[in-house]
């Protein structure tokens, strides 16, 4: 079995981002970048599946500018076997990502595709679903547990009403939720080994995919400042404030 995973380059989750002065986007100059946390979970799950003897190869893909190779190397240090880099400086939106991944699926023929359920920069939660539709594959989103047996994946997924367990035939697209696992840290020996692992490079043109953006960002604004909280003496004062000041009851 071959597993394809993704490693999107995003601003590190611990960084407080700032909006550019012209409100055109977020300032990423001299900002620490990292692998999207949900993609890290997907990579960890793929490596665990291989370590359990249920897969032979884990291939990690990333799309974006040259710097994305850093995130591929991180994924290789975490246990992935080989990297694929689609190099482009264009503003890559979810549909374009799904089309590029579909082209890689056609080229690699993986038995399982595991993606993070969302990226923490755009929060669109679209790519996995779009990829499944374009590739004509079954999908299991928001996975908190994955069990593989007899050409099927049994996935426990988080839904609004609680938990749901479904079974899909492989090949399939699965998106990883927060509770699927806890990613490991890359050891120094594995970081050194990652430098020798191969990364195949393509461009969107070589894959036959048009990545022209379909959406235009008009303006980016930071959230408005919150007012300071107030400590109340008792329940009566709380109820009074909720009635007369907040007017919520």
Domains of the chain: 2-214 (3.40.50.620)
- The 3-state DSSP class for residue 185 equals coil
Distance from C-alpha of 91 to C-alpha of 96, rounded to nearest angstrom:
9
Report whether pLDDT(213) > 80: yes
The predicted model scores a pTM of 0.86
Residue found under tokens 């500018």? 65
Report whether pLDDT(222) > 90: no
Confidence of residue 1 (pLDDT cuts 50, 70, 90): very high
Average pLDDT over residues 124-148: 95
What Å distances lie between residue 102 and 33, 96, 115, 169, CA to CA?
A: 26, 10, 13, 18
Distance from C-alpha of 236 to C-alpha of 240, rounded to nearest angstrom:
6
Report whether pLDDT(117) > 80: yes
Distance from C-alpha of 127 to C-alpha of 112, rounded to nearest angstrom:
15
Q: Token pair for residue 81? A: 């076997």
- H or E segment and range at residue 73: helix 69-77
Q: Token pair for residue 191? A: 């970081």
pLDDT of residue 16: 87
Q: Token pair for residue 57? A: 């190869």
Residue found under tokens 């994946």? 153
Upstream peptide bond of 111 is cis (omega within 30 degrees of 0):
no
At 15-33, the pLDDT tens digits run 888 888 888 888 888 889 9
**pLDDT over 90 percentage in the chain:** 76
């Amino acid at each position: 079995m071959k597993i394809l995973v993704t490693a999107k380059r995003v601003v590190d989750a611990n960084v407080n981002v700032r909006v550019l002065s012209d409100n055109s986007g977020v300032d990423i100059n001299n900002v620490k970048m990292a692998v999207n946390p949900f993609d890290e979970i997907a990579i960890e799950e793929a490596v665990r599946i291989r370590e359990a003897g249920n897969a032979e190869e884990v291939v990690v893909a990333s799309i974006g500018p040259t710097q994305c190779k850093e995130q591929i190397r991180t994924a290789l240090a975490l246990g992935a076997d080989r990297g694929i880099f689609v190099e482009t400086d264009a503003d890559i939106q979810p549909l374009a990502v799904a089309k590029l991944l579909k082209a890689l699926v056609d080229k690699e023929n993986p038995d399982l595709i595991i993606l993070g359920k969302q990226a923490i920069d755009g929060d669109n939660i679209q790519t996995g679903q779009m990829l499944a539709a374009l590739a004509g594959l079954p999908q299991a989103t928001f996975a908190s547990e994955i069990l593989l047996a007899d050409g099927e994946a049994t996935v426990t997924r988080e839904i609004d009403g609680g938990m749901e367990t479904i079974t899909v035939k492989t090949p399939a697209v699965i998106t990883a939720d927060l509770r699927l696992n806890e990613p490991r840290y890359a050891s120094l020996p594995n970081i050194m080994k990652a430098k020798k692992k191969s990364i195949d490079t393509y461009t969107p043109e070589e894959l036959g995919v048009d990545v022209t953006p379909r959406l235009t960002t008009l303006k980016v604004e930071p959230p408005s400042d919150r007012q300071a909280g107030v400590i109340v003496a008792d329940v009566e004062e709380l109820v009074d404030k909720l009635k007369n000041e907040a007017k919520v009851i």
